[in-house]
Copies of this chain bind each other. A is one copy, B any other.
C-alpha cells in the first residue's frame, strides 16, 4: 500500500480537565472520519480513522485540537471536504472549526478566477480602494432601478451590485432588470469616462443559477452576485471554473456559521479562507460598527485571510458592508487599506444632492489615497 497522505484541521472546545479534552478531541476525529466505534472498523481500514496530532490548553477551560485526516476521506471532492471538516460536528454546540490546512485546500479548491488583480484590471484601478453600492430596494421596476444605476455610474462608482433581495420578482423580472441596468450603466460610463461594473444577483435554484449566469454573460453584465449559503458553496466553484465573470458573494443565510458563541466556524476562516477557496473574487461581510456586531479586530482578520498569499489560490477582495457611510470612509480606509472594496448602501440613498453626487464624493475619497 502507498504511504497515506494527510491534511489537518483545528477545532476549539471547552473541557474542564485534560482527560475530558482528550476524549472530546478523539471523538471529533472519529465523528469526522469513520463515524463508528473504532473497534468495529476492520483492521486493514484503520488508516481511515483520523488522529489527534496536537492538543493544547489555550486558556481557562478552552482547548484546541489539531486533527490529522487521511486525504483518502476526501478524494478530490470539495463538497466532501466540507463534510469531513465539519459535517456532523456542526451539530455539536461546543465545537468550533478554527483552521484548515492551506496546502490541501488549494489542491481541492481552485479559488477565484479573477482575484484582486483581475478585478483591478477590469476597472483599470491598480492602486486604490474600490467603491461599491447596492441597487435597491426590491419593488422598483427595471426602469427605476436602471435610472438609479445610471446616476451612480455618472458619479463614477466602481461596482454596482444588485441588492441580495432582488431575485425574479414580478416587479422586476430578472432578464428585463439585467438588460435595463446594463444599458444604463454603459450609457452612464459615457458621461463618467470610466468603467463601472454591474453585478446582478443570480441566486436561485441550482439550474436557475447556471441559466442566469449564462444569460447575464450574454447580456453584457460584468460579474455576478451570489449568496453561497443559499445555493451551496460548490456552485461558485462551477461558475469560477468558467473564468467568464467575477463572483461577489453575499452572507445571506450564512450568519449562523459565524455568530455562534461556542460552535460554528471562525468567521475569518469561513468568509476569509473558505469562501475565497470556493471561488469568490469579492467577499461581502458584515462590517464592524454596523448592525451585525463584528469587531474591527475580527474584520481585520477576515481581510487578512482574503488577501494572504497562498500558493495556488488567487486572493479575494474583502468587501465590508454595513457601518460605513460616505463620511467615515477615510477612517476605514486607514484601517483596512486599499486592497478593499467598500460597500455603502443606505447612506448614499440619503445624500441630499442625489445619487450621482453621492457616488462622486464616495469615489473622490478613495482617490485621495492614491
Given A73-B169, A87-B252, A165-B33, answer yes or no on A261-B261 (Cβ-Cβ < 8 Å).
yes
Q: How far is the CA of A136 from the CA of B31 in the complex (A)?
A: 12
A292 within 8 A of B: yes
Q: Which residues of B contact A286 (CB under 8 A)?
A: 91
A227 within 8 A of B: yes
Look across to chain B and name the residue whose beta carbon is closest to the beta carbon of A86: B253
A357 within 8 A of B: no
Residues 9-52 of A, flagged 1 when their CB comes within 8 A of B and 0 if not, give 00000000000000000010001011111001110010110000
Q: Which of B35, B136, B208 contacts A137 (CB 8 A)?
A: B35
Whether B230 pairs with A206 at a CB distance below 8 angstroms is no
A337 within 8 A of B: no
Q: Which residues of B contact A260 (CB under 8 A)?
A: 93, 256, 259-260, 263
A226-262 at interface with B (beta carbon < 8 Å): 227, 229-232, 234-235, 237-238, 251-261
Whether B90 pairs with A254 at a CB distance below 8 angstroms is yes
Q: How far is the CA of A191 from the CA of B312 in the complex (A)?
A: 53
Least CB distance from A141 to B in Å reads: 9
Whether A88 pairs with B169 at a CB distance below 8 angstroms is no
Q: How far is the CA of A113 from the CA of B258 in the complex (A)?
A: 34
Q: Which of B93, B205, B207, B229 contacts A78 (CB 8 A)?
A: B205
A329 within 8 A of B: no
A330 within 8 A of B: no
Whether B253 pairs with A263 at a CB distance below 8 angstroms is no
Given A77-B168, A169-B72, A170-B72, answer yes or no on A93-B261 (Cβ-Cβ < 8 Å).
yes
Say which one of A55-63, A117-125, A343-351 lies at the interface with B: A343-351
A179-196 at interface with B (beta carbon < 8 Å): none
- Counting chain A residues whose Cβ lies within 8 A of the other chain, the interface size class is 35 or more
Whether B230 pairs with A36 at a CB distance below 8 angstroms is no
Whether B264 pairs with A256 at a CB distance below 8 angstroms is yes
Q: Which residues of B contact A165 (CB under 8 A)?
A: 33-35, 73, 80, 83-84, 87
Q: How far is the CA of A18 from the CA of B192 in the complex (A)?
A: 49
Whether A79 pairs with B35 at a CB distance below 8 angstroms is no
Least CB distance from A69 to B in Å reads: 11
Look across to chain B and name the residue whose beta carbon is closest to the beta carbon of A205: B234
Whether A167 pairs with B80 at a CB distance below 8 angstroms is yes
Given A92-B293, A93-B293, A349-B36, answer yes or no on A232-B261 (Cβ-Cβ < 8 Å).
no
Q: A80, A84, A86 — which one has the most chain B CB atoms within 10 A of its CB?
A: A80
A364 within 8 A of B: no
Least CB distance from A169 to B in Å reads: 5
Given A79-B231, A90-B256, A165-B73, answer yes or no on A36-B140 (Cβ-Cβ < 8 Å).
no
A139 within 8 A of B: yes
A143 within 8 A of B: no
Residues of A within 8 A of B (CB): 27, 31, 33-37, 40-42, 45, 47-48, 72-75, 77-80, 82-84, 86-93, 136-140, 144, 163-165, 167-171, 203-210, 227, 229-232, 234-235, 237-238, 251-261, 263-265, 286, 291-293, 345-346, 349-350
What would 17 A/B residue contacts be, using CB atoms closer than 8 Å? A31-B291, A33-B137, A35-B137, A35-B163, A36-B136, A48-B138, A74-B167, A91-B251, A92-B255, A206-B209, A206-B231, A206-B232, A207-B238, A230-B232, A230-B234, A232-B235, A259-B260
